């Protein structure tokens, strides 16, 4: 098992943190004026989530946040990345703010600051107000405008205390897992609609950054978090190489090319012209989407190996945007996590170096999520040993350090996640936390990885 001394030295000002998301931990879905989100609706529909789980209670962070902040303080992280639930602020996705929702996040921010932990606030981690979905959701450009209004409300209330602002978390999942594969809320399989959603998410990002910068009052920094994949062909076969290019488009370039490069992806019309005319775009959208960023958040869990696999019985013009004649092929020699995801830390180094090579004026990068699910259990002594997670984190930190030594400007690392939580379509069956949550009584039990991460940060010295 890796020890904290195995991790290379990082710069003294390197930021160490952990991450969570509102719907995954908060619970209290019917309290203090909170409206319904698409995940409330999706998780309560039979067959969508493993074992019929939902986020109604989750980790009950809404009531137990002082206990969770105490865990952060004792862990010794310098920063905590959390998300705001849009339906707590605007139950219908529009109109004036629900003050009780703003007050909750104000109390959380104050508790964090009192504990010496910097709050990193994410505005959107997938919990779109259901009322907006019923008006078209992210297919509709008006949702991007509503998102900017919401961002301005939250920023106006908390911008005096929160300096790090992230607009979107993982728009790939919102657009394509939610609206092309149907694995996530709202649970549909669309072609043009999913591509329109991806575009309007980026438009919403641009509008939100503009709105918050217009009312900036101090040291606020603005960015976005993308979950990016190191995409590789499963073999040297030209068909697999072509498949990898299409998967790279879907996973990465749809977002990185406009946001970081100010261009539309070169191959998009070849891949999707039969299902979309891209009529959702307007003349000045590229300039709007490519707002100057103070940082880029990168979420990384595993590489993606692409194999050519023709879509069975394609229905021209009606296929989903994710049906691109590709399947995932995990090399058999790679170990896997409890999610079935391959473990290859070198993929993170390759990804970071590629970003640095391909995009000029790349902003400073923060690894805003990295972690793994394993089969954690409480032993006879009441402890939770998770050596595989420790090894996973240590190896990926080595990968980050390798990229930094090659010149990539990485400024921080956030482990996913502080707590075991509602893992979306997997419900409570998968555990990513540094802290074990007993879902019967909601006890928090720090795992061995929690203490390893604490000791590793201490060994690093000043932060």
**Which residues are known to be catalytic?**
170, 369
Beta bridge partners of 384: 378
The answer to whether residues 22 and 84 touch, using CB atoms and an 8 Å cutoff, is yes
206 burial (CB, 10 Å; 0-12 / 13-18 / 19+) is buried
| Positive/negative CA dihedral, 269, 273, 277, 278 | negative
Lookup: tokens for 385: 């040993």
The answer to whether residues 38 and 185 touch, using CB atoms and an 8 Å cutoff, is yes
The residue count for the chain: 463
Long-range own/partner contacts, residues 67-70 (CB < 8 A, 24 or more apart): 67/444, 68/25, 68/418, 68/419, 68/444, 69/108, 69/111, 69/112, 69/115, 69/117, 70/115
What are the DSSP calls for 373-438, one per residue? -----B-TTS-B--HHHHHHHHHHHHHHHHHHHTT--EEEEEEE-SB----GGGTTS----SEEE-
Nearest to 263 by CA among 294, 283, 245, 287: 287
* φ, ψ of residue 222 in degrees (nearest 5): -125, 135
- The helix/strand/coil state of 322 is coil
Separation in Å, CA 290 to CA 195, 259, 367: 18, 5, 20
Cis-peptide into 459, omega within 30 deg: no
The answer to whether residues 365 and 410 touch, using CB atoms and an 8 Å cutoff, is yes
* φ, ψ of residue 4 in degrees (nearest 5): -60, -25
H or E stretch including 57? none
């Amino acid at each position: 098992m890796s020890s904290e001394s195995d991790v290379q030295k990082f710069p003294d000002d390197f930021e160490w943190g952990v991450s969570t998301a509102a719907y995954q931990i908060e619970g209290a879905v019917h309290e203090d004026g909170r409206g319904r989100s698409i995940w409330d609706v999706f998780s309560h529909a039979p067959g969508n989530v493993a074992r019929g789980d939902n986020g109604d209670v989750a980790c009950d962070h809404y009531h137990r946040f002082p206990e969770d902040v105490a865990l952060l303080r004792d862990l010794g992280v310098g920063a905590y990345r959390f998300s705001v639930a849009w339906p707590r602020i605007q139950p219908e996705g529009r109109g004036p703010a629900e003050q009780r929702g703003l007050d909750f996040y104000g109390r959380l921010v104050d508790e964090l600051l009192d504990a010496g932990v910097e709050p990193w606030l994410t505005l959107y981690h997938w919990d779109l107000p259901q009322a907006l979905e019923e008006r078209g959701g992210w297919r509709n450009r008006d949702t991007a405008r509503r998102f900017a209004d919401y961002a301005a409300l939250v920023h106006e209330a908390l911008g005096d205390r929160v300096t790090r602002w992230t607009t979107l978390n993982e728009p790939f999942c919102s657009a394509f897992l939610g609206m092309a594969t149907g694995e996530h809320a709202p649970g549909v399989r669309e072609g043009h609609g999913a591509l329109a959603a991806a575009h309007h998410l980026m438009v919403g990002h641009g509008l939100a950054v503009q709105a918050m910068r217009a009312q900036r009052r101090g040291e606020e920094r603005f960015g976005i978090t993308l979950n990016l994949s190191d995409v590789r062909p499963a073999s040297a076969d030209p068909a697999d190489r072509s498949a990898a290019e299409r998967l790279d488009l879907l996973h990465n370039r749809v977002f990185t090319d406009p946001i970081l490069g100010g261009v539309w992806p070169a191959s998009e019309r070849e891949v999707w012209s039969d299902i979309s005319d891209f009529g959702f775009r307007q003349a000045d959208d590229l300039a709007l989407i490519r707002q100057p960023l103070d940082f880029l958040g990168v979420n990384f869990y595993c590489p993606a190996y692409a194999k050519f696999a023709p879509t069975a019985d394609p229905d021209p013009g009606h296929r989903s945007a994710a049906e691109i004649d590709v399947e995932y092929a995990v090399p058999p020699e790679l170990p896997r996590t409890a999610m079935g995801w391959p473990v290859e830390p070198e993929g993170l180094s390759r990804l970071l170096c590629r970003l640095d090579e391909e995009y000029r004026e790349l902003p400073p990068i923060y690894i805003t999520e990295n972690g793994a699910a394993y089969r954690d259990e409480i032993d006879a002594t009441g402890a939770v040993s998770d050596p595989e997670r420790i090894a996973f984190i240590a190896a990926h930190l080595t990968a980050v350090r390798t990229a930094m030594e090659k010149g990539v400007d990485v400024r921080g690392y956030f482990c996913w996640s502080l707590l075991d939580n509602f893992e979306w379509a997997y419900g409570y069956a998968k555990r990513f936390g540094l802290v074990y949550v007993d879902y019967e009584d909601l006890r928090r039990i720090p795992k061995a990885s929690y203490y390893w991460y604490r000791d590793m940060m201490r060994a690093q010295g000043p932060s």
